[in-house]
Amino acid sequence: MRETDEILAELTPLRRYARSLTRDEAEAEDLVQEALLRAHERRASFRRGKGLRVWLMSILHNSFIDGLRSRRARELREAAMMEAAPASHPASQESAVRLAQIRVAFAQLPEEQRAALHLVAIEGLSYNEAALVLGVPQGTLMSRIARARAALREFEDGTGAARQPLRVVGGRDADDA
- What does the pLDDT read at residue 94? 77
Mean pLDDT score of the chain: 84
Average pLDDT over residues 25-35: 96
Q: Which residues contact 126 (CB under 8 A, 6 or more apart)?
A: 120
Task: Provide φ and ψ at 42, rounded to 5°.
Answer: -110, 20
Residue ranges of E strands in the chain: none
How far is the C-alpha of 113 from the C-alpha of 134, rounded, in Å?
11
Is the pLDDT confidence value at 117 over 50?
yes
pTM listed for this prediction: 0.46
| C-beta separation of 112 from 144 below 8 A | yes
What is the Cα–Cα distance from 61 to 31, expressed in whole angstroms? Answer: 9
pLDDT of 176 > 70? The answer is no
Q: How many other CB atoms are found less than 10 A from the CB of residue 141?
A: 26
